[in-house]
Amino acid sequence: MFRYIVLEVRRTLRDGFFLIFGTGMPVMMYLLFTNIGGGEGVDGWKTASMVGMAAYGALGSAMSIGTGVASDKTLGWLQQLRVTPLAPSQAVVGRAISGSVTVLPTILTVLSAGGLLNGVRLDAWQWIALALLLWIGALPFTLLGLGNGYRLTPQGTGVVNVACLMGFAIVGGLWFPLDLLPEWLRSIGRFTPANRFADLGWATTDGHAPGAGTIAVLCAWLLLFGVYAVISYRRSARTV
Amino acid sequence: MKQTTGNSAAVVLTAVVKTFGRTGRSIRAVDGIDLSIGRGETVALLGRNGAGKSTTIGLLLGLDGPDSGSVRVLGRTAEQAVRAGLVGAMLQDGRPIQRVTVRELITFVASTYPQPMPVAEALSLAGVTAYANRRIDKLSGGQTQRVRFAVALAGNPELIVLDEPTAALDVEARRTFWDSMRAYARRGNTVLFSTHHLEEADENADRIVVIDRGRIVADGTGDTIRGAAGSSLVSFDLAGRPTEGLELLPGVVTVEVSGDRALLHTDDSDATVIELARLGAIRDLRVSRATLEDAFLALTAPAAAAPATDSERETV
């Protein structure tokens, strides 16, 4: 599996266009949103927006790995992979781990922009914890993106990924606070993956560890999306 | 390689059926195939496009499961054999993935097998050493094809399966490819390849299995296949004569009519010709040795139905 990770990381790092756009877009959006308008209470907004945009960027690049997988499928690569001894679970986990190399730079560039350009001040441990938690917390979304990619065409994967991302962002309160949603949706919202994922970041900037409930909910989603990805991978090799 | 199963066959398919499509409009891509391939054999799966070759290969690689019947590969299920690293495959529509060099790809594939051959050896056996450090998406069609062959043999598997390995290759590239394939077979490995080129099957396989409409219609050496449809070909101008009863002439196996000319596949051309002479049907009469192509066409002709057996010979 290690060799598989190496192979896929190499392929990703050689795709300059993908890297620049994947990591560049969230930073641009962050700087744009925090420097247009401005006004009172700017400092709090810059920190919250930094976490939000790093989280959103992390989700976006995590899920976009699915598009790459879908085009590998059209090349027959997934079938070829299936006739090697690499087990489906290893193939999926390996691809998810190799995929996270694009997630980390996205998080780091947004956090650097926050710290260096927007003057966000956090303790050293908070910076480190924030980067690591967002990086690891993005794994369920990587698996969801992979599952879609194994199952759908490249175009289909793109559309479904965007729909998933927006749905999770809205229901999870990434775009506007959960308090604005109706009561019934609010109670569901707290169990959605994007909400718990962002909670990792909010807890860190508030200066405390994420709750056990948050971690349990994220682990449940990790398991669910992981199973989905493995099943999709196994189906992807069928000839008709 | 240590043999633990005590089973000497590399591949055993028993009454395998595979249907595609939904109920109502389904296609029996594989319609009751029984096939046993011994260890060390080189076997060609010969058939027209859509005859069921790729489906059969998909079944014995574990990519699909049969609707009924059983598939055993080296004493295991197909999936177990693949997982154990006993099988290497070159699939039909594999195209190069981007941003990876030949050596990187082969190194990865080899690493997934328990007892791979050294990467340099795989590269050289497949004839790709010269461009090992180039990216595979920058190679020509023939070069890519050889890289895919290197992928199939990198793990040093006991059984290698090649689905239409020379499609889209020019004559020179074909020859080089088959030299590499035979070199691999000589190491004692079992090779199964599919093709619709008769000469390739005849020149490179110990045994040819002819598939048509999901069934095996002939199985044996090139000479056996030639014989299966009659070893000679007797043809003459019909000159308006009816064709009924021609199949009953001595020695005749199958009858084809092309324009105003009758083509008789026969086991005994002397007897056939003597009888034709007696009937006076000798205008422009010609006797020739049936080629493998004649046999193949006779066996897989659109009108041909069940497998040709001694009791039930197909006629037009």
pLDDT tens by residue, A2-45:
999 999 999 988 888 877 887 788 888 888 877 775 554 556 77
Residue pair A90/A49 in contact by the 8 Å Cβ criterion: no
- Determine the residue of chain B that is closest to A16 in CA distance: B99
Residue B67, token pair as written in the block? 């609707």
Interface test with A, best of B83, B99, B108 (most A CBs within 10 A): B108
Task: Give every strand in the sheet of B286-289, ordered side by side.
Answer: B252-258, B261-266, B232-237, B286-289
- Determine the residue of chain A that is closest to B163 in CA distance: A80
- Name the residue among A11, A83, A237 with its Cβ closest to that of B100: A11
- Name the residue among B87, B100, B151 with its Cβ closest to that of A10: B100
The minimum CA-CA distance between A18 and chain B, rounded to whole Å, is 13
* Sequence spans of domains, chain A: 2-236
Domain architecture of chain B: domains with CATH: 38-62+75-224 (3.40.50.300), 230-289 (3.30.70)
The minimum CA-CA distance between A96 and chain B, rounded to whole Å, is 17
Residue pair B116/B154 in contact by the 8 Å Cβ criterion: yes
Instruction: Give the model confidence (pLDDT) of A175-219 as tens digits.
Output: 777 788 888 888 898 899 998 998 899 899 888 889 999 999 999
Instruction: Give the model confidence (pLDDT) of B75-115 as tens digits.
Output: 999 999 999 999 999 998 788 899 999 999 999 999 999 99
Residue B212, token pair as written in the block? 């048509």
Interface test with A, best of B80, B87, B99, B135 (most A CBs within 10 A): B99
Q: What backbone torsions phi and psi does residue A173 show, to the nearest 5 degrees?
A: 75, 30
Mean pLDDT of chain B: 87
- Please tell me whether residue A72 adopts helix, strand or coil conformation: helix
Nearest to A4 by CA among A12, B31, B264: A12
Q: Using the predicted structure, report yes or no on whether residue B311 has a pLDDT greater than 70.
A: no
Predicted confidence band of residue B121 (pLDDT cuts 50, 70, 90): very high
The minimum CA-CA distance between B224 and chain A, rounded to whole Å, is 32
First-last CA distance in chain B: 50
| Gap between the Cα atoms of A113 and A181, Å rounded | 31
Residue A206 touches partner B, C-beta closer than 8 Å: no
Residue A96, token pair as written in the block? 């998810």
Query: What's the pLDDT score for residue B68?
Result: 95
Residue B11, token pair as written in the block? 């591949």
Query: What's the pLDDT score for residue A176?
Result: 73
- Helices A124-137 and A139-151: crossing angle, nearest 10°? 20
